[in-house]
Structure 1
Amino acid sequence: MTYEEFYYSIDCNFPYHNESEWKRIIQQSIEIGGDAPFMVLHEICRVPASEKIEEAKHLEMYNFWKESFSSPVQEIVEPASLSYINKGELTDNEALEIMVKLSKFPNSYNALQVVLFSCPDDKDLVDEKYEEIVSMWKSAT
């Protein structure tokens, strides 16, 4: 399965209430590699309003994802990930600091998006930083 096919198979279609299926998808994302595991993280963190997940189950899903592979990006994006699960928000400054760290890991688009949506961004500074980093990554390829 290609990255694009994988994206369309889980986008707005993540099986939050089917443990064996979300575990399979997490493993599949690791096999696909690149940014695919962080696409799954994005789905895990940004649960649609139509879905209700108990916090303990949400943490179980996140912890399974985190323990399934190893990447320095995991630790960098973790505060943003946990802010979703704990139904909180980062400050804009916290999000900006995380984005600066992520900028050193080209093509981590999904991790960057998790951070982008983890704060209020009242002054659009986080969105500007997001666009700046994406532009930098694209110009480097």
Structure 2
Amino acid sequence: MTYEEFYYSIDCKFPYHQEDEWKRIINKSIEIGNDAPFLVLHEICRVPASEKLDTEKHIKMYKYWKQSFTSPVQDIVEPASLSYINKTEITDSEALDIMEKLLAFPKSYNALQVVLFSCPDDDELVDEKYEKIVAQWKSAT
């Protein structure tokens, strides 16, 4: 399965209430590699308004995702991930700091998006930083 096929198989279809299935998807993302596990993180964090997921189950899903593989990006993006799950926001300044750290991990697009959507971005500085990093990563390929 390609990254693109994987993306379309889970986009807006993540099985939040089917534990065996979300575990399978997490494991599949690790098999695919690169940014795929962070695509899953994005789905885990950004639960659609139409879905109801209690915090305990949400944390369980996140913890399973995190313990399933090792990447320095996991720890960098964790404050943003947990802010989603706990229905809080990090500050724009925190988001900018996290993005600066992610810069060292080219093509971590989904991790970067989790950060982008985890803060209020009142002055649109976070969006601006997001766009700059994406452009920089794309120009390096």
TM-score (norm 2): 1.00
The Cα RMSD (Å) is 0.3
Q: Hey, what's the Cα distance between the residues in 1 that align with 2:135 and 2:54?
A: 37
Look up the match of 1:139. 139
Q: Secondary structure at the match of 2:122?
A: coil
User: Matches of residues 1-141 of structure 1 in structure 2 within 5 Å?
Assistant: 1-141=1-141
Q: Hey, what's the Cα distance between the residues in 1 that align with 2:84 and 2:131?
A: 22
Q: Hey, what's the Cα distance between the residues in 1 that align with 2:6 and 2:138?
A: 22
Give structure 1 stretches of 5+ with no counterpart: none
Residue 78 of structure 1 and its aligned partner are, at CA, apart by 0.1
Q: Hey, what's the Cα distance between the residues in 2 that align with 1:54 and 1:99?
A: 28
Aligned residues: 141
Q: Hey, what's the Cα distance between the residues in 2 that align with 1:49 and 1:25?
A: 21
Question: Which letter does structure 2 place at the counterpart of 1:56?
Answer: E
Residue 77 of structure 1 and its aligned partner are, at CA, apart by 0.2
Residue 58 of structure 1 and its aligned partner are, at CA, apart by 0.1
Question: Which letter does structure 1 place at the counterpart of 2:8?
Answer: Y
Q: Hey, what's the Cα distance between the residues in 1 that align with 2:113 and 2:61?
A: 19
CA offsets 1:37-76 (integer angstroms, 9 cap, x no match): 0000000000000001010000000000000000000000
Residue 28 of structure 1 and its aligned partner are, at CA, apart by 0.1
Q: Hey, what's the Cα distance between the residues in 2 that align with 1:112 and 1:129?
A: 10
Q: Percent identity?
A: 78
Residue 7 of structure 1 and its aligned partner are, at CA, apart by 0.1
Q: Secondary structure at the match of 2:12?
A: coil
